Amino acid sequence: NEELWVQSVLEMPKRRDILAIVLIVLPWTLLITVWHQSTIAPLLAVHKDDGGDSRRDLAAGLDSKEYCLSDRDIVEVVRTEYVYTRPPPWSDTLPTIHVITPTYSRPVQKAELTRLANTLLHVPNLHWILVEDSQRRTPLITRLLRDTGLNYTHLNVETPRNYKLRGDMRDPRIPRGTMQRNLALRWLRETFNKNNSQPGIVYFADDDNTYSLELFEEMRSTRKVSVWPVAFVGGLRYESPKVNAAGKVYGWKTVFDPHRPFAIDMAGFAVNLRLILQRSQAYFKLRGVKGGYQESSLLRELVTLNDLEPKAANCTKILVWHTRTEKPVLVNEGKKGFTDPNVEI
C-alpha cells in the first residue's frame, strides 16, 4: 500500500507538470502557427472556407464579413529590386527571337497590337517584324511601334484585292497573312547572311493570339523546328503533336484532318533562322492551299517529322492560346461615322 501511495504521489506531480507544460506551450504553438500563415496584414475576420458560403444570400452593402476573406489570402510582397526596363537589356548570349506578325487595319487593331506588345516587352532579345497588309506603312502602326520601345522592323505588302467581287474584298484564294509572312521571310534572307553565325529563331505570331512568357523561352533552344500544343484550334480545347517515349513526334492529336503532313497551327512551331536561310526557297504557298494546309506548305520544305523537337514538357503543357477577338458593335457610328475620326482607337 505504501509503495502504491508513494508511486501515486510521484506520478501526480508529473501529471500536473505535464499539464502545466502543455498549458504554457500550447498558446505559443498556436501563435506561431497563425503567425506563419497570416500575412503582413492584421488578423482579419476569419470565415470558414466551406460550401455554406454559396447558400448565403449576399445582399448589397453588407459588411465585409460576408465575403470569403480568409487569413490565407495570397499576398506576394513586391521585390523592391524589380527593375522596369522595357524591353530587357540585350544579351550577347541569347539567340534572337524574330517574331513575325502580319496585321491589318480594323477597329481592334491598335488594341490587339498594344496587348501583344505588352507581352513582347518582357522577352529578352526579341525582334518584332510587323508586316501590314496595306499599300503604305500607316501612321498608326509607325507611332505604335516607336512608342513601345521594342526592337522592330516595320514592313508592308498589300494582299491584292479581288475587284471582280467587291471593290473592297481581298483575294479570297490567298489566305490572310500569307503574303505578309512571306515578305518577312524574304526580309530575313536579305538581311542575314547564312554564313553569319548570329543565332536566331523565327516564330509566326498572329496579333490576336495569347502568348505566355514561358513559350518564348521554350522556343529559344530550337535547333531545327520545334513544336508544342496550341489551345482553341481545330474545334478542340487544344491540338497537340503526338510524342513517343523516345521524345520524337510521330503524329498529330487533332480531329480535323490529322493526316496532314504537319497538322499544326501557325502558333505551334518555331524555326531556327539558320534553316530559313539555308532553305532560301521555302515559303508559304500562296494559292491553291486547302484549309489547314498552310503550315504544311512551308514546313514540308524545311523538315521531316523525325526532325521535330517537342517542347512544353514533351507537348503536355499549353503555352499559347488561339484566342479570337469579337468584332466590336459599332452600330451607333451609323453609315457616315459619328465619332471624330481623328481620335485614334
Partner 1 sequence: PPPRRPEAALPTIYAITPTYSRPVQKAELTRLANTFRQVARLHWILVEDAAARSELVSRFVAGAGLPCTHLHVPTPRRYKRPGLPRATEQRNAGLAWLRQRHQHLPPPQPGVLFFADDDNTYSLELFQEMRTTRKVSVWPVGLVGGRRYERPVVENGKVVGWYTGWRADRPFAIDMAGFAVSLQVILSHPKAVFKRRGSQPGMQESDFLKQITTVEELEPKANNCTKVLVWHTRTEKVNLANEPKYHLDTVSIEV
Q: Is 148 marked as binding a ligand?
A: no
CA distance 130 to 152: 7
The residue among 303 and 312 lying less far from partner 1, judged by its C-beta, is 312
Q: Which ranges of 46-89 would DSSP assign to H, the alpha helix?
A: 52-55
Please identify which of the residues 112, 132, 218, 295 carries the catalytic annotation: 295
Q: Is 322 marked as binding a ligand?
A: yes
CA distance 113 to 130: 10
Residues in region 249-288 near partner 1 by CB under 8 A:
255-256
Residues in region 100-119 near partner 1 by CB under 8 A:
107-108, 110-112, 114-115, 118-119
Part of the chain binding partner 1 (CB under 8 A), chosen from 11-19, 135-143, 165-173, 232-240: 232-240
The residue among 4 and 74 lying less far from partner 1, judged by its C-beta, is 74
Q: Of 102, 175, 177, 229, which one interacts with partner 1 (CB under 8 A)? A: 229
Binding of partner 1 by 22 (CB under 8 A): no
Binding of partner 1 by 75 (CB under 8 A): yes
Element holding 6 (H helix, E strand): helix 2-37
Residues in region 235-254 near partner 1 by CB under 8 A:
235-238, 240
CA distance 231 to 209: 10
Cβ atoms within 10 Å of 274's Cβ, excluding its own: 21
Binding of partner 1 by 321 (CB under 8 A): yes
CB of 7 to partner 1, least distance (A): 54
Handedness of CA 30, 32, 34, 37 (dihedral sign): negative
Rounded to a whole number of angstroms, the distance between the first and last alpha carbons of the chain is: 98
Annotated active-site residue 295? The verdict is yes
Q: Which of 124, 34, 50 is nearest to 87 (CA)?
A: 124
Binding of partner 1 by 210 (CB under 8 A): yes
The residue among 187 and 321 lying less far from partner 1, judged by its C-beta, is 321
The cell for 157 is: 505588302
Q: Which of 117, 44, 95 is nearest to 272 (CA)?
A: 95
The cell for 211 is: 502568348
Binding of partner 1 by 94 (CB under 8 A): no
Alpha-carbon separation of residue 278 from 82, 95, 297 (angstroms):
41, 17, 17
Residues in region 23-62 near partner 1 by CB under 8 A:
41-42, 44-45, 49, 51, 53-54, 57-61
> Could you list the active site residues?
295
Known binding residues for UDP-alpha-D-glucuronate: 102-104, 133, 176, 181, 206-208, 322-324
